[in-house]
Structure 1
Amino acid sequence: MFIIPLLTYAIVSSFTPGPNNIISMTNARSQGVRKTMRFIGGVAAGCMVIMLLWSYFNLVLKPFIPKINFMMNILGCLYMIYLAIKIMRSKPQDAERRDVALCTFTFGFIFQFMNPKVILYGITAISSFVMPISTSPIQLLFYSLGLTIIGICANMTWALFGSLFKNWLSRYERPFNLVMGLLLIYSAVSIFTAN
């Protein structure tokens, strides 16, 4: 069943360090959680637009070019393996050097269209996990909403527990990154084993 690999992929991709999470954590530490919620609201809106665009793009494209699904699976799988290796080999984050607070809704929204992690998250999740189990426009809307909610939960977690989470990561970053990388590899392999 595709739902477990989809959730694994979504949770691992969303909760691992990335631009949205780092900015949320940094903003919350310097500006407070209340002001950071404007940025997170922009992230939510931008992420939802990207998920919907990829859902309906895939829905329109799939009947006309059947082989694209296989190619998207391969590209998504390769990206997940690349991301897993990058996560497992990553060095400690230096969040202290990011001292500019970007706490606006507008920045959060626009930034999603330049954020490769969110764009590839949408491409991979929709084409590799969602399209094989559903092509109903209503279900695509709900999957897009679900993927967005998981991403926003990650942003809020990093914002709310930024200091505590950063301290924990500084002590246990290597094992944490190894586990996240292995879970991402599991998600990549499951694209082909679930068929």
Structure 2
Amino acid sequence: MPNVPAFLSYVIVTTFTPGPNNIMSMSNSSRYGFKKSIFFNIGVFFGFFIIINLCNIFSMTLINLIPTIKPIMTFIGATYILWLAWKTFKSKPINDNNGTIKNHTNTFIYGLLLQFANPKVILYAITTVSTFIVPYYSSIFILLLFALFLSTMSFISTCCWALFGSIFQSFLAENVKIINIIMSLLLVYCAISLFF
């Protein structure tokens, strides 16, 4: 069984920190209203669910074909998490007023397809599945439950950013250093706990 506090810390920190999904959700909500932007969030949910399941298949195949790969996958996952901790520590607040977001980004298909071009989601899915899930579970039903849980967390995150985007944005801007330190330390804890 994985270290549950480390798993949940990693999921919460990574899911709720700024990224393309959360920023687009906040932007859509501020431009179209929450109700009209909800289809984007639903698209994110389904795209995320597909990505997690593809990572489940990929990781299960690797572990079944090469059982000795688990320590390598753990090391790569821990390294990536430490890199995320460093990037989180050094990050600055994101300003979405640069005019790069195009019109009609509040659709289901846009949210779905964004997942396949979103490096944060792809790396998050690979790291989470290969480090916290597949080394401990092999049941298809359990893997689907994890995919559903992670997709739901993503949906909750995008909805929170949509509902409270302006509050989060100003709060992050005012307290960016403290928040970055706390999130970075949680990620370092996650990386270290993978080896115990």
Q: TM-score interval w.r.t. the shorter chain?
A: over 0.9
SS for the counterpart of 2:64 is: coil
The answer to whether the Cα contact below 8 Å between 1:56 and 1:137 also exists between their aligned partners in 2 is no
Q: Which runs of 4+ in 1 moved over 6 A?
A: none
Is the 1:42–1:105 contact (alpha carbons within 8 Å) kept by the matching residues of 2? yes
Give the partner amino acid of 2:133. Answer: V
> Equivalents in 2 of 1:180, 1:192: separation in Å?
20
**TM-score scaled by structure 1?**
0.94
1:34-183 → structure 2 map (5 Å cutoff) = 34-98=35-99, 99-101=101-103, 102-183=105-186
Deviation at 1:55, TM superposition (A): 1.0
Q: Give secondary structure in 2 for the equivalent of 1:83.
A: helix
Q: Is the contact between residue 93 and residue 169 of structure 2 (CA under 8 Å) also seen in structure 1?
A: no
Gaps of 5+ in 1: none
Amino acid at match of 2:161: W
* Equivalent position amino acid for 2:139 in 1: S
Consecutive unaligned residues of structure 2, counting only runs of 5 or more, are: none
**Deviation of residue 100 (structure 1)?**
2.9
Deviation at 1:84, TM superposition (A): 0.9
Q: CA deviation at 1:20?
A: 0.6
* CA offsets 1:156-194 (integer angstroms, 9 cap, x no match): 11111011111111111111111111111111111112x
Kindly indicate whether the alpha-carbon contact (under 8 Å) linking 2:78 and 2:191 is maintained by their aligned counterparts in 1: yes
Alignment root-mean-square deviation, CA? 1.3
Does residue 191 (structure 1) correspond to residue 171 (structure 2)? The answer is no
Counterparts of 1:137 and 1:131, CA distance in 2? 10
Asked whether the equivalents of residues 9 and 186 of structure 2 are also in contact (C-alpha less than 8 Å), the reply is: yes
The count of residues paired between Structure 1 and Structure 2 equals: 193
Letter in 1 for 2:77: G
Deviation at 1:92, TM superposition (A): 2.2
